[in-house]
Amino acid sequence: MTTHRITDPRTAALHAATADQTWDLLVIGGGASGLGTAVEAATRGYSVLLLESHDYAKGTSSRSTKLVHGGVRYLAQGNVSLVREALHERGLLKQNAPHLVHDLGFLIAAYKWWAAPFYGIGLKMYDLLAGKLNLKASRYVNRAQALERTPTLKKAALKGGILYFDGQFDDARLAITLLRTLEDHGGVALNHAPVVGLIKDGGRVTGARFRDLETGQEHAVRARAVVNATGVFVDDVRRMENPAVKPMLSPSQGVHVVVDRRFLPGDSAVMVPRTDDGRVLFAVPWHDHVVIGTTDTPLPETNVEPRALPEEVEFILKTAAQYLDPAPTRADVRSVYAGLRPLVKAAEGTDTKSLSRDHVIRISDGGLITLTGGKWTTYRRMGEDTVNRAAAQAGLPQRLSLTAGLKLHGAAAPDTHLADHWQVYGTDAAHIRALPGADTPLHPELPYTEAEVRWAARAEQARTAEDVLSRRLRALLLNARASIEAAPRVVAILAEELGRDAAWEAAQVQTYTELAGGYVLN
Ligand SMILES: Cc1cc2nc3c(=O)[nH]c(=O)nc-3n(C[C@H](O)[C@H](O)[C@H](O)COP(=O)(O)OP(=O)(O)OC[C@H]3O[C@@H](n4cnc5c(N)ncnc54)[C@H](O)[C@@H]3O)c2cc1C
C-alpha cells in the first residue's frame, strides 16, 4: 500500500516559493516574530513568503516557560507600559486561540509575615493594568488554602500566599497554528529552507537566496520588503547585507527542567519572586508534567541547539528544593531544554537581566527590516508594528490591521474542552481522530497517537522525526528518553507518508537519537 502524498504541504509551498513573482514581503525566520509578521501581512492582503532554515519554532519559540503573561517581574522593574501592552495581548490571544491558551493560577508562597501584603499590592496593580481583559482577580490565600492548591509546598513556616492569574500555552503548537493561519489566508511558508544570502539592487535589499535542504538546490526570491526575524541569528543576516555591521544582540540562555506531575499536583503553578540570584523561578504544570525554570546565563555565541550548563540545572533543582517537598532530584528529570533570549544590547557592563525585553525594529540603509526582542505573548503586536513599517518602507498601500480580532486556525468555541492532549488541535482534532492509528499510542509513557504523526506530515509540514517529536508533538520536552524509543515508529510512519526509503529511515532514527540525547540528564 502506498500512501505517499504527491501534494504534501511543503512540496506545494516549495512550488509557490520558486514561482516567478515579486512578493510584497519576504520574512526570514519562522519563530514567533516571523510567523506573527507573516500572518499580519497575509491578513492585510499583502503577498508574503516566509523562509525558515530548520523548522517552525526550532529556535527560542519552542523553548519558553509556556506563559502568556504580562511579566510580573517587569512590573517590579517599573516597566509599566511593557506590562500593560503584554496584558492586553494576553487577553487578545486567549480570545483568538482558546484551544491553545488557558488561565492558570500562580501561587506566591509567603514564609515571612510581610510577604503576602508586599506581593499582594503589586499584583493588584497587575490586575488593574489588564483592564477589561483581566483574568480572575488576584487574592490572598491562607495556609490551608495554599496547601490545598499546592499540596507539595514546604510546610514549615508557611504563612499563606498570594494567588494571581496568568495565561498558559503551548509555544510550538501556537507556531504551527500560526503557520496554518498564514496558509488559510493565502500566505506561503517553507521550512528547511535557510536564507544564505541577500539580493541587492543599487544598494537596496530586494530579495534573498535560499537553499532547499531536501534537494540542495538554491533559489532566488524577490520582494518589495525583506524582514529579518531570525531571533538570536539576526546579526548573521544583517552581516549578509553589510559584513561590517556591529552586532545588536547580547544573547542569554534560559534553561528549564521537566519532571513528573507528582512534584506539583493540584491546579496551580508556583512562582518564586526572588531567587538567590535575584530572578524569578516558575514551576508550572504543563501537559501532565511540570516545567521548572528558568536561568539567565549570558553566552558569548549562538547555537541552534543550546545545551544546559550543569550549574544551571543545579541552580533550578536547588531553588525548587527550597519550596517543594518532596523536591525533584537529577534522577527525576525527564527532559532538560535550553533557549536563547534575543536581548538587545545595551551599554558595556550592563547585566543581561536588565536588558530590554521590549521588541526592537531596526531598518538598515539598504532597507532590511530587522525585528527582534519582545516575547511570545506580544508576537501579534510585534507583527503589526513590523508590517506598518514594512508597508511604509516598500510603498505598499496602507491597510488596517485585522489581527486583534482574528481567530487563529482551529479556534473552537471558548468553552469547548477536548480531553487531554487533543485540546491543542481545536477543530482539527476531529479530522485527526478519523485517521488510521487514532487509537494506537506511540509510547506507553507519552499521550500521543500514530494518527497525529500522519496528520503532522499531511497537514503541518513535518519532515523529520525531530519536527514531529519536538514541535508537532511535545514528546522531546516531556520525556526525552521515551521520545527516543518512539522515534523508529514515528520515522516509519513519516516514510510511508512522504515516500522515503529505508536508508532515510535509518539516518533519521540516528540523527534524532543523537539530538534527543542532549535533553536526557542522566
Ligand atoms: C528561556 C526563555 C523563556 C521564555 N519564556 C517566555 C514565556 O513564558 N512567555 C513569553 O511570552 N515569552 C517567553 N520567552 C520569549 C520568547 O520565547 C521569545 O521572545 C520568542 O520565542 C522569540 O521568537 P523569535 O521568532 O524572535 O526567535 P526564534 O524563535 O529563535 O525564531 C527565529 C527563527 O529564525 C530561524 N533562522 C535563523 N537563521 C535563519 C536563516 N538564515 N534563514 C531562515 N531562517 C533562519 C531559526 O531557525 C528560528 O526558527 C522566553 C524566552 C526564553 C529564552
Residues 239 and 361 in one domain: yes
Pocket test for ligand 1, best of 174, 340, 357, 376 (most atoms within 8 A of CB): 376
Find the CATH number of the domain harbouring 507. Answer: 1.10.8.870
Q: Note the pLDDT of residue 179.
A: 98
Pocket test for ligand 1, best of 27, 49, 61, 257 (most atoms within 8 A of CB): 61
Tell me, using a 6 A CB cutoff, whether residue 71 lines ligand 1.
no
**Ligand 1 centroid vs 233 CA: distance in angstroms?**
10
Residues 311 and 373 in one domain: no
pLDDT band at residue 436 under the 50/70/90 scheme: very high
Residues 457 and 485 in one domain: yes
**Ligand 1 centroid vs 360 CA: distance in angstroms?**
14
**Does some domain include residue 85?**
no
Atom index in ligand 1 nearest the CA of residue 294 equals 1
Q: Note the pLDDT of residue 349.
A: 53
Residues 469 and 501 in one domain: yes
Percentage of the chain exceeding pLDDT 70? 96
Atom index in ligand 1 nearest the CA of residue 59 equals 30
* Identity of the amino acid at 520: V
Residues 142 and 284 in one domain: yes
* The three grid cell numbers given for residue 426, joined into one nine-digit string: 481545536
Task: Determine the average pLDDT of the residues in 177-187.
Answer: 98
Find the CATH number of the domain harbouring 400. Answer: 3.50.50.60
Find the CATH number of the domain harbouring 151. Answer: 3.30.9.10
Residues 392 and 484 in one domain: no
Tell me, using a 6 A CB cutoff, whether residue 173 lines ligand 1.
no
Q: Last residue of some domain: 344, 379, 414? A: 344
Tell me, using a 6 A CB cutoff, whether residue 271 lines ligand 1.
no
66 by DSSP, 3-state: which?
Answer: coil
**Ligand 1 centroid vs 455 CA: distance in angstroms?**
25
Is residue 351 pLDDT above 60, yes or no?
no
**Does some domain include residue 379?**
yes
Is residue 2 pLDDT above 50, yes or no?
no
Element housing 180 (H / E): helix 171-184
Residue 219 to residue 394: CA distance in whole angstroms = 22
Cβ–Cβ < 8 Å for 399, 45 = yes
**Does some domain include residue 88?**
no
* Identity of the amino acid at 17: A
Tell me, using a 6 A CB cutoff, whether residue 383 lines ligand 1.
no
Residue linked to cell 525531530 = 466
Q: Note the pLDDT of residue 132.
A: 85
The rounded mean pLDDT for the chain is 94
Tell me, using a 6 A CB cutoff, whether residue 470 lines ligand 1.
no
* The three grid cell numbers given for residue 343, joined into one nine-digit string: 536581548
CA angle, 450 then 455 then 460, to 5°: 135
* The three grid cell numbers given for residue 463, joined into one nine-digit string: 519532515
Q: Of all protein residues, whose CA lies closest to atom 31 belonging to ligand 1?
A: 31
Tell me, using a 6 A CB cutoff, whether residue 230 lines ligand 1.
yes
Q: Note the pLDDT of residue 328.
A: 98
The total number of structural domains in the chain stands at 3
Counted residue by residue, the chain has a size of 522
Atom index in ligand 1 nearest the CA of residue 304 equals 47
Atom index in ligand 1 nearest the CA of residue 232 equals 30
Residues 263 and 160 in one domain: yes
pLDDT band at residue 352 under the 50/70/90 scheme: low
Residues 242 and 254 in one domain: no
Atom index in ligand 1 nearest the CA of residue 237 equals 41
CB atoms within 10 A of CB 354: 10
**Does some domain include residue 16?**
yes
Cβ–Cβ < 8 Å for 178, 93 = no
Residues 157 and 263 in one domain: yes
Tell me, using a 6 A CB cutoff, whether residue 26 lines ligand 1.
no
The residues facing 26 across adjacent strands are: 49, 226
Q: Last residue of some domain: 307, 326, 344? A: 344
Cβ burial of 300 (10 Å; 0-12, 13-18, 19+) is exposed
Atom index in ligand 1 nearest the CA of residue 293 equals 1
Residue 165 to residue 268: CA distance in whole angstroms = 9
Least confident of 196-210, 356-370, 390-404, 434-448: 356-370
Task: Determine the average pLDDT of the residues in 42-61.
Answer: 98
Pocket test for ligand 1, best of 50, 85, 199, 230 (most atoms within 8 A of CB): 230
Cβ burial of 180 (10 Å; 0-12, 13-18, 19+) is buried
Residue 236 to residue 228: CA distance in whole angstroms = 10
Task: Determine the average pLDDT of the residues in 361-367.
Answer: 96
**Ligand 1 centroid vs 324 CA: distance in angstroms?**
30
Residues 322 and 239 in one domain: no
Q: Last residue of some domain: 344, 361, 378? A: 344
* Identity of the amino acid at 270: V
* The three grid cell numbers given for residue 516, joined into one nine-digit string: 534527543
Task: Determine the average pLDDT of the residues in 21-28.
Answer: 98
**Rg of the chain, C-alpha, whole Å:** 22
**Does some domain include residue 505?**
yes
What is the tens place of the pLDDT at every residue in 385-406?
999 999 999 999 999 999 999 9
Tell me, using a 6 A CB cutoff, whether residue 269 lines ligand 1.
no
What is the tens place of the pLDDT at every residue in 54-111?
999 999 999 999 999 988 878 777 788 889 999 999 999 999 999 999 999 999 999 9
**Does some domain include residue 65?**
no
Tell me, using a 6 A CB cutoff, whether residue 30 lines ligand 1.
yes
Q: Of all protein residues, whose CA lies closest to atom 10 belonging to ligand 1?
A: 376
Shortest CA distance to 319 belongs to which of 248, 370, 255?
255
Tell me, using a 6 A CB cutoff, whether residue 403 lines ligand 1.
no
Residues 106 and 150 in one domain: yes
Tell me, using a 6 A CB cutoff, whether residue 475 lines ligand 1.
no
Tell me, using a 6 A CB cutoff, whether residue 371 lines ligand 1.
no
**Does some domain include residue 476?**
yes
Task: Determine the average pLDDT of the residues in 175-190.
Answer: 98
| Structural domain of 216 | 9-60+173-248+348-405
**Does some domain include residue 75?**
no
Residues 6+ apart with CB under 8 A from 151: 265, 266
* The three grid cell numbers given for residue 99, joined into one nine-digit string: 484551544
What is the tens place of the pLDDT at every residue in 212-266?
999 999 999 999 999 999 999 999 999 999 999 999 998 999 999 999 999 999 8
Residues 429 and 514 in one domain: yes
